[in-house]
Structure formats: C-alpha cells, structure tokens
Amino acid sequence: MKSRYFWAFFFGALVLGVSANAQQTSDRPAVSPASAATGAKPAAAVGKGSAAADSARAADALPLRFETSWGSADIIRGADGPVLGTVGWFRGFDVEKLVESSPRAVTEARRFQTANFRGSLVSSIGAATVGIGILVAGSNANNASTPIIIIAGAGAIGWGLQHINTGYAALSKALWWYNQEQAR
C-alpha cells in the first residue's frame, strides 16, 4: 500500500517536472543567436552528443557585454568569454543578427549601426578638415579662411563623436534588452 503512494508521488512529480522543463526549453530559440551571427553550427547539429549540446546551450545563455578600444568595441559573451565580433570605425559585424531573439534589442542595434556609421564618417571628415587647416596655416597659403576650416573641422569632430557616443549608448541598451530576454 505504501509503495503505491510512493509511486503516485513519484509519478506526479515526474509528469509535472517534465512538462515544466519542456516549457522552459521551448522559450529558447532552436538555434542560438550567437551561432546564427557567427555562422557556427550548434553543437547538437554536429552530433557531439548531448553533453556538448548542453554546454553549448549553457555558454549561449551567458549574457553579452562589450569593451571599447580606440574607436571599436569587442562584443563578448560571459565574464571571460569569447569575442563574438568587433564593431565600430567602419567594421561590419552584424549586431542585429546576434540579438535577433529580442525585438527591442534589434531596434537598438539598428540605432547603433546608423549612429555609429554616421558618427565615424563625419568625425573622420572633420579630422581630415582640421589636418588640412593646420597644414594650410603652416604654409604660405595661410589666409583668413584657415581658422574657419579648422573650426568647421573641429565642429564636425564634435558632432561625429556625439553620434558615436549615442551609438554606443544604443549598443549598451541592445545588449541589455538581449540579456533581459535571456534571463527569462
């Protein structure tokens, strides 16, 4: 009699435990966004066994972050994780694809790409203008228009840097929304 209660208890726990687990698993994308962005095949697809698939899934569940380095930024998964890609100064890593599991992250990623390209372009033109202005000021061709060229170039650099700054704020937000989706 007692063993029947034990089996009933065990069966109830098993059935509902499995259904809860299945519900959690269905919330995750079949192919991880990181694998999709980098073109890497998920571990399960290459038949390395369930242990490899589990560790790959666990690694993909780690939150994303970025670290900047002189005009570009590495997108990193986890505390010491791999660098998934580098963005900035005309680099074309597809952030939108990486964060595609979260619609709000995609919106911010798009904002980042627009602002970053615009900012990089205008600040580069500004830097070139300032350089030309300084060269002209040092030569015999120096005239009243030289300060205007330098000031215009400096203004363009300022405007461009402001846009790059806005872009990185959008990237930070994109990764935040993506990590929030992962936390669910």
Partner 1 sequence: MIRLVIAVSVGASLAFGGAPMLLGQATSYDDNALRIENQRGDMLVVRGAAGNPVGKIGVFRGLDLRKLVGSSEKATVEAGKFVRDYKPGMLLVSVGIVAMGAAFASRQIQDVNPVITIGLTLTGIGLVAYGAGRLENAYNALERSFWWYNRELQH
- Answer yes or no whether residue 166 interacts with partner 1 by CB under 8 A: yes
CB-CB contact of 60 with 32 (8 Å): yes
Measure the CA–CA gap between 104 and 184, rounded to whole angstroms: 15
Smallest separation (angstroms) from partner 1 to the CB of 28: 13
- Answer yes or no whether residue 145 interacts with partner 1 by CB under 8 A: no
Of 63, 81, 82, 155, which lies in the binding site for partner 1, with binding defined by CB under 8 A?
Answer: 63
Measure the CA–CA gap between 35 and 44, rounded to whole angstroms: 12
- Answer yes or no whether residue 83 interacts with partner 1 by CB under 8 A: no
- Answer yes or no whether residue 3 interacts with partner 1 by CB under 8 A: no
Nearer to partner 1, 52 or 136 (CB): 136
> Which single residue is written with the structure tokens 């992962």?
182
- Answer yes or no whether residue 150 interacts with partner 1 by CB under 8 A: yes
- What letter does residue 49 receive in the DSSP assignment? -
Report how far Cα 165 is from the mean position of its chain's Cα atoms.
15
Q: Which of residues 20-49 bind partner 1 (CB under 8 A)?
A: 20, 24
